[in-house]
Structure 1
Amino acid sequence: MQIVYPPANYQTQSARIFILGTALPNGEVRVNGQVVSRSKAGHFAPSFALDVGLNVFRVSWQDIEQVIQITRLDATLVPAKAPSLLPESMVPVEPLACLPDEVICFSVIGTPGARVRVLIGGQIVTLAETDYHTQLPANQSLLTNQNQPRQLSQPGLYQGWTRFHKPEQLGQPRYQLEWQEQQITHLGQAAIEVLDPAQLSAVAVTAWQADARTGPGTDYARLTPLPQRTQATVTGRSGSWLRLDYGGWLSASHAQPLSLKLLPSPASVRSVACTERSGWTDVILPLTVPVPISVRQEADRFWLTLHNTVVQTDLIRLSEQGWVQSLTWQQQPNQVECCLRLKSPQQWGYCLRYEGSSLVLSLRHPPDQTPLIMLDPGHGGEASGARGLNGLPEKDLTLSLAQQVQERLLAAGLRVSLTRQADVSLSLQERTQLIESQLPSLCLSLHYNALPDDGDAEHTQGLSAFWYHPQSLELARFLLCSLLERLNRQSHGLYWGNFALTRPSVCPAVLLELGFLINPEEFEWIVEPQTQTQVAQALADAIVQWLHTA
């Protein structure tokens, strides 16, 4: 008998856990005396509820028994004694800078039933007590259909807010709790500053394509990356993150201060030209300042928004037989929206860069007679990926499949490149750099699936496809539907997915999950030698067919 998951002395905040493993088909596998169902090959994946604290599971088969200890962690913070405040619960957590009249929020966990207030900048901010808070589950919860908001109990949670009307160095807030005629005070760690709108600093982007976010941290959604040399005014800070004047947030590590305090605003754009080169159309927009940008795609339309910009355009030059059919613009408050209508509803890739202060938008043409297909076998080396119920690592399956697909695509007359040809470690950054340097016509990242701890491994099967840029949606849909029909498998869904291997914009890029390694029946199907052959042929055929029809 072999237990693959969970590992020894495992800890989780999940309310459930699955136990994954295998044993010879004869006899019964029991967990705490309860017989669990198994596949024909003897694999099992039952789920069990977890109590807060230590949970012990005895897994037995014939005369073999393994003891699994799992600790469910309690996410509720409880003050050790009364009266008390928990310093680690104080919000804001990191140094904060904002503009006058913006809302500043405070919260802390302390002894229930007390009076709590914050002293800062000459103000007294009373915090109201509540005994619960609303939590949004992690993004992965969508895979288990458990993505609804949760009302979580949190005794002694105090919250409040205030505003400051003028620039000021407010310093660190003091949290004060009164309980049964006793009073305690804790100094918060996060210093707060209200910025002077007339003395804001400006920065330039130093990274080649800097991640812009909707908030100050990597758990916030991505916006259009900012090309190197982009300039913007800083209107706020949170820890090591900068809020830029157009609304996006940027890590300070990707920016350098400019000597001037405020940028000339707004920037101007005048004449616009489209030029053709082999495989690409370049749209060149001369600007007085390299401004933040946003991109939107839809069928044969490509929208480019120039923030902090005003139009002074009287002439736009298009190529007679070019990829861009028309270019129109619309001035909106603080920004210009340019709409490019392309020759085809299928877009094949784009990239953006600044040359001096001129923005160059490069739009890719359809591939030539011998498209280059890049296949990315997921994981590799020390990154084993998910494991099957007998311990088989995902990295071995993805490499074998990619090599078989490569063989069939070469036979069909296509060019093929693999991100790895052997069991070697390859970072996500190295994989995306290969895409950007080799410029394939399309890229497929091949994977096999698993679930978070609260998933139902025993009853979850299916294939799924993930896309990020709209130019990849129809490819993802076509491949998934083709595989489901050819292989007679269940669908686990078509997803918009913010993954490293779906984010490259230079070509349509799709990530495929080709079944669940942790489901007993589907794992048996996956490891059948004839299955790998069938999947490889079905995928190669679907790629060729899509290229002919796109």
Structure 2
Amino acid sequence: MFLRICRSCFMKRILIKKLIGNFALIFSILAVCVSVAAVSAEKNGVADVWEEETESKEEVSTLPIIVIDPGHGGADCGAVGINGLLEKDVNLRLSRLIQKEFERVGYKVAMTRTEDILLTDEGVAHTTKKSADLAARVKAAEKGDIFISVHMNKFPEEKYSGAQIYYSVNNEKSKTLAEMIQKAIVNGLQPQNNRVIKSGEGLYLLDRIDIPAVIAECGFLSNGAEAELLKDEEYLKSLAFEIFSAIDDFVVECEWE
């Protein structure tokens, strides 16, 4: 009886193998037919059109391009922290982490700078370098759909701390974007932060950018405890994630197309 069962199982395995082999043969024949058809179509000038259409469909993305602007750079170090931390360096580190979060899920990101530089030509006079740098950042904003400039804050008194977001009045969506970023940072990292968003009217960048735009002052380098946090890579990663999450939620809420 045992031998019969084994033989039966063995025969079934042979049958299955034959069926698999037949399917493999059928798929092989189909593959050859498709290849022949493709060659024939290419000779008739059809394949090129199909390939172009396929490529164009793959390139289409409904996600907005995010412009990230690490404030200051080069000769302009920005604020200097109570612990010697330079604002330009923190801005760049945090901006790169935000960039990684966006690119991880398929967004295209345009960075105004990726190294320690001012956005000016070598021939620009020292007295006009700052204005030329700011003008270049405004120009860079034209490459995208959403703009965020990353900065750190400073005040003579050490007691002040916490992020605060400024928004452009040129686009009605900027205020919503600022509110969402402020809320995300407070809820995720700074529960004691009672700061509110502010209009960026009068600020060079926000006055000249028409897309949804904000300046994120992400913390006070003049506050000892916060300055130490802003040195910490893990804290910066968390901060980057909160900023990314807020902007991503903003895109969803706006039903971006």
Q: Deviations over 1:450-497 (max 9, x none)?
A: 12xxx4x22111110001213311111111111110113414331112
| Contact map agreement 2:81 2:227 (CA 8 A) in 1 | yes
Amino acid at match of 1:534: S
Partner of 2:106: 413
| Contact map agreement 1:503 1:509 (CA 8 A) in 2 | no
Partner of 1:429: 135
- Structure 1 pair 491–380 and aligned structure 2 pair: CA distance change class (3 A): farther
| Contact map agreement 2:167 2:213 (CA 8 A) in 1 | yes
Amino acid at match of 1:382: A
Partner of 1:346: none
Q: How many residues align?
A: 178
Amino acid at match of 2:85: L
Partner of 1:376: 69
SS at match of 2:203: coil
* 2:198 is aligned with 1:495: yes
Correspondence list, 1:131-280, <5 A: none
Whole-Å separation in 2 of the counterparts to 1:462 and 1:505: 25
Q: Tell me the TM-score normalised to structure 1 length.
A: 0.31
Q: Give the superposition deviation at 1:368.
A: 5.7
Q: Give the superposition deviation at 1:434.
A: 1.3
Partner of 1:467: 167
Q: Show structure 1 runs of 5+ residues with no match.
A: 1-366
Aligned-residue CA RMSD (Å): 1.6
Q: Give the superposition deviation at 1:529.
A: 1.8
Partner of 2:84: 391
User: Which aligned runs of 4 or more in structure 1 are off by greater than 4 angstroms?
Assistant: none
Whole-Å separation in 1 of the counterparts to 2:84 and 2:118: 19
| Contact map agreement 2:85 2:231 (CA 8 A) in 1 | no
| Contact map agreement 1:461 1:492 (CA 8 A) in 2 | no
SS at match of 1:527: coil
Bigger fraction of residues in helix: 2
* 2:158 is aligned with 1:458: yes
SS at match of 1:492: coil
| Contact map agreement 1:501 1:510 (CA 8 A) in 2 | no
Whole-Å separation in 1 of the counterparts to 2:93 and 2:163: 18
Identity across the alignment (%): 30
Whole-Å separation in 1 of the counterparts to 2:235 and 2:206: 26
SS at match of 1:404: helix
* 2:253 is aligned with 1:549: yes
SS at match of 2:230: helix
Amino acid at match of 1:376: D
- Structure 1 pair 430–505 and aligned structure 2 pair: CA distance change class (3 A): closer
Aligned mate of 2:234, from 530, 539, 545: 530
SS at match of 1:503: helix
Partner of 1:478: 180
Amino acid at match of 2:102: L
Q: Show structure 2 runs of 5+ residues with no match.
A: 1-59, 120-132
SS at match of 1:482: helix
